Amino acid sequence: METLLLWLFYISTFYAFIPGIISRLFGYRVFRKGSGVQEFALTFDDGPDPKYTPRLLDLLSKYGAKATFFVVGSHAERHPELIRRMHDEGHLIGIHNYIHKSNWLMRPSTVRKQIQRTNDIIYGVTGERSTYYRPPWGIVNLFDFSKRRHVKIVLWSAMFGDWRQNLGTERLTEKMLARLGPGEVMLLHDCGLTLGADPEAPEQMLIALERTLEEAKRRGLRSIRVDDMIKAAEKSPLLRLSFGKRLLVGAWLTWERCFRLMFRLRTVTPNLPFLHYRLREYQGQAISLDRGMTLSKGDSIIEIHVDNRQLFELGIQSRSAAQLAIRMIRRMDQDLPVLAEIIAGDESLAEVKALYGVTMINRGPEKFGFTVKDLPEGLFARLTKFYLSVLLSVIHPAGGARLKERSEALVPKMILMPVSQLLDHYGQKCTGTKLRKRQDAAAVLEDDMAAEEFPGAHAH
């Protein structure tokens, strides 16, 4: 009996658990998130539903939004008129199995039949077959990765728990607005008949969705079909990376999320994150700053971090190190004034003495008002250099080979700035003269960095 249980454990681990982890964390053979400047994707599971789907289609039409519906085949079979309307109104129709059952609980042949049966129903109504598939609960098994499936697995980047009625409309709206942004694949449900869902939950989803679409309109964002998002993503330089590097990037970005949660980092501009920060006590040796100030052990500081996902995306979209540096300069110039406003308006930050970060930028930060100092020699400096070397080998446009040629330049530095200096420089609304000075400084910085071979990355 013990041997049988052990074999069942091994089989379930390799058949279900490991493929699930690989797909969720590293995006292996699945699509989870797109790219772009103004586009996001609304996706709806478990329908169609005769009560809520027509109202949802009306709402999407009102805002000119396109969406992707992953339909349950048995529901589609009962309501072909809704499948026809989805198709006629320009939405994408995907497959969500014939019945809403986990792929972990079905043999590969059964999953294949579920997909094929649902696809036949869609074809019978629309005259087109679907090549997009979302397994129920996003749970894949080992054979879902097979190319013989002839479907593209689509997961999501943002899920909100909208199938629970006790979440409430206000909280659901907050969660949706917090994740509204370019490239997001948002998971919602237009049917509440699935096991574990509340039948009336789509009612509050529709209210929250209208508020989200209204905000998207205000921001100039638009919802597109998943196939259009995939086509745009396929042009991304990310696809030029080997699977090993994509695996490394996945682990790195997972660590980024864990780090932000563990240390409760706050984000300067949540809608387009670039700088994160946290309040802590300085624990290093005494350092002289500008304005005759000294930073001593125990002083309150704001530790800043660059968003790793944004850093990676800037890196892979840049044709050269100079272009990456210039893009980082522009983002920093956008976020520092906002950080100054946050500090000025938050009483809990009133006693902060300085901004603090660790970077490999050898030139540039001082033009923003930072003082650049060497890290004290020791274990922290060595580990930081190793971490940033690995990081830059992935995001640097020239790749790891170029970094090896200039390894002596990979020296992590501390950057520091008195908070009073930040507030003086950025804390007031820019006048014309002040704005021109900032623009001139940024232009000089861009010229300087155009010759710099190693744009920076902030270490955690």
Catalytic residue among 45, 46, 162, 307: 45
Nearest to 457 by CA among 425, 419, 411, 416: 411
- Structure tokens that stand for 184 in this block: 């997001």
Residue 5 has a CB neighbour count (10 Å cut-off) of 9
Cβ-count burial 157-175 (b if 16+ within 10 Å, e if not): bbebebbbbebebeebbeb
CB 279 within 8 A of CB 302: yes
Catalytic residue among 189, 276, 396, 425: 189
Sign of CA dihedral 143, 146, 150, 151: positive
Rounded Cα distance, 282 and 450, in Å: 33
Q: Which residues contact 365 (CB under 8 A, 6 or more apart)?
A: 359, 372, 415, 456
CB 66 within 8 A of CB 40: no
Q: Which residues contact 405 (CB under 8 A, 6 or more apart)?
A: none
Strand partners, 132: 152
Whether 396 is catalytic is no
CB 59 within 8 A of CB 206: yes
Nearest to 35 by CA among 330, 313, 243: 313
Whether 424 is catalytic is no
Rounded Cα distance, 59 and 190, in Å: 12
- Active site (catalytic) residues: 45, 189
